[in-house]
Chains A and B, each alone.
Chain A
Amino acid sequence: METIPLIEFRNVTKQFGDKTVLDRVNVKIYENQITTIIGKSGTGKSVFLKHIIGLLQPDEGTILFQGKPIDEMKRAEKEEYRKAIAYLFQNNALLDSMTVFGNVALPLQQTTDLSRKEIEHRVLKRLEDLELSESSRKYPSELSGGMQKRVALARALVTDPKIVLFDEPTTGQDPIRKNMILSMITHYRRKFGFTAVLISHDIPDVFFISDRIIVLWKGSVGFQGTYEEAMNLKLPLINEFLRSLEGLQDELTGLLSREAFRVHYTAMLGSAAPAMGLSAAVFSVRLNLVHEALGPLAAVEVLKALGEYTNKRFNSLGGFSARHSRDQILTIFPHTTTNEAKEMVQGFARELQQEAHEGIQNIVEATVGAGKCFDIYIRAGITEIGPADEIERIIEKAEENQEIIATFRCDTGGSA
């Protein structure tokens, strides 16, 4: 039996004057998934989200929530539906005459019967999660764009909604904060189990965290499906657009983008002699556990450090690397046998442990406090590359050989 989508658009059309912004759009959004909407400017992405929250009504077509048309819902049902949704506006839409605390507390004060103490507790917790504790008494105009975005995010999440609509949540953020916000979206989704619909162009991270991708193209749905399906798409214009978003470099780590990596790898296979040794290594860190224990910033910092050290160490030796999932880096070693690769990785591990230890220790101490700490393990798996090995196959083989190569260990605390 087919799963009933949480939200479904059936032939939804929206016009503003003579301009058709959404043209018979058919989209399905499933529960507990992260669905990302991408598309050029002016293709109706924000309009799409505003239809879900009810800020805009379709001119034609129907929007269904759990199989039921929204416009046919009774008042109480509609109220329940709206209660389940939170919206993060593109320009944050913070109430500028209120402090950060006031903004985040407002939905709880106005729509719940919670006591003042309970509201204060929840708001302060959310502000702490988003590193805004010190700004709670400030007004939005006193904050940077990035901080305002986090306040808006705190306000959207404070009511523990079931569906959260994120309209470009990472716009205006630096690479670390971008990843932190995306990391938080995945973290909170796992923790609270909400369904996320987001508009974002932060590739590759947004693809790593998304279960489904919807490409809006000239007011219609150009594509909907998984990232892998999107990458194998045979529609030239959309394909070109997706690849243009990815660029050549991973903004956070400085590694190659997946697409650039694929081009490098294909070119190398084409030019390499069959007898030449080719090896690969997969480095990984359990970011989910690091995030759980140390928070989103620490998780992103650890990932960034791993990426930068990989780049620094192996680029000079002719290797090239890219992230293939949020917490996994694949490095190819041309002209290198498996044994040589092992030696290189051991050297890398020593360097990582010596040089990166202090930085990671600082992150840990800043998060859980000095005297306490948290073990972080870096794993690596090395494999030989066969003549016809696809990238996915190389990752599978390397993962089978994974073992711990570096540890940031303390006497107490948890581990990742």
Chain B
Amino acid sequence: MTEPGSLQRSNNLSLIFPAIGRWTMLLIGNLGAVAIFFSLSLVHIFRRKQLSEIVKQVFFIGARSSLIVMLVGLFTGMVLGLQLFYTLIRFGSVGALGSAVSLSLIRELGPVLTAIMITARAGSAMAAEIGILRISEQIDALYSMRIDPVRYLISPRIAASIISFPLLTSFFDLVGIVGGYLTGVFLMGANAGSYFYRVQSALTMVDVRGGFIKSLVFAVIVSCICCYQGYFCHMRTDGYGAKAVGLATIAAVVLSCVLILIADYVVTSFLM
């Protein structure tokens, strides 16, 4: 005879497994949809009449984000300079300050923090803007005018992100190194010549390439996720209209930030 406890466990399992199955199917479906969405957008980048739209988006995503990215870079570098100075002085290795600051920034902090900053500034705007275009039928209007919405709206944003992310990351890194110099050398009195000598001698092309690859990966992740969330906000089941746009924007920012950190680990482990 079946005991009541085992019957209860069996009932719980019969609820859990279908839920896991449904969740897995949904995840796979969404991943497939994102992959197709990204592939289509990538193909359309090279179509005619795209240059002007890409330039506009580079201005919006890149040029207009540069100030905030450099500001964050400056203070990140300054904090690094300060923290590392106090750490290194304990071991009598203040001379390695330049190496520590530059390697931390170029390999890790530069690409990650730049991507997060652009997600907050431009990624959220992408999701919200495209979402509004969707709910007000402007995307349908583009389709009715024979303008492919993916080509016109998404491809320029992805292309502009691929161009802007590495550039902004390099700005972040440069300003960060200057920030480290300001606190480490000006404020704390480390040797200026030694700082820049260590920066130059510690950095190799492998480090720079690693940071560049990361920024490219993050560019694809952020632009793709943000555009995807906005473009399909009308298919959300947890909200409609303006609420769906809000939820899509939240999802875009949160998902992008989480994926940036996950991708950072994955790419780092491949590069090491």
Contact = CB atoms under 8 A, between A and B. Distances in A.
Given A110-B49, A110-B152, A96 B138 contact: yes
B143 A107 contact: no
Interface string A328-350: 00000000000000000000000
Contact of A82 (B49, B136, B137, B146): B146
B152 to A, nearest CB: 7
23 contacts: A54-B143, A55-B140, A55-B144, A82-B146, A83-B146, A85-B144, A86-B144, A93-B138, A93-B140, A93-B141, A94-B141, A95-B138, A95-B141, A95-B142, A96-B136, A106-B145, A107-B147, A109-B49, A110-B146, A110-B147, A110-B152, A111-B147, A159-B145
A89 B145 contact: no
B52 to A, nearest CB: 9
B53 to A, nearest CB: 10
A93 B133 CA distance: 9
A303 B146 CA distance: 38
A53 interface: yes
Contacts of A93: 136-138, 140-141
Given A89-B141, A93-B141, A106 B136 contact: no
Tell me whether chain B's interface is mostly helix, strand or loop, or mixed: helix
Contact of A111 (B133, B136, B141, B145): B145
A109 B48 CA distance: 11
Nearest to A103: B141
A54 B145 CA distance: 11
A106 B147 CA distance: 9
Contact of B136 (A54, A91, A107): A91
Nearest to A55: B140
Interface in A145-161: 155, 159
B136 A87 contact: no
Nearest to A82: B146
Interface in A75-125: 79, 82-83, 85-87, 89, 91, 93-96, 106-107, 109-111
A96 B152 CA distance: 15
A158 B148 CA distance: 18
A107 B146 contact: yes
B103 to A, nearest CB: 43
A83 B138 CA distance: 18
Interface in B138-168: 138, 140-147, 152
A199 to B, nearest CB: 15
Contacts of B145: 86, 106-107, 110-111, 155, 159
B143 A55 contact: yes
Contacts of B140: 50, 55, 89, 93
A82 B137 CA distance: 18
Interface string A39-79: 00000000000100111000000000000000000000001
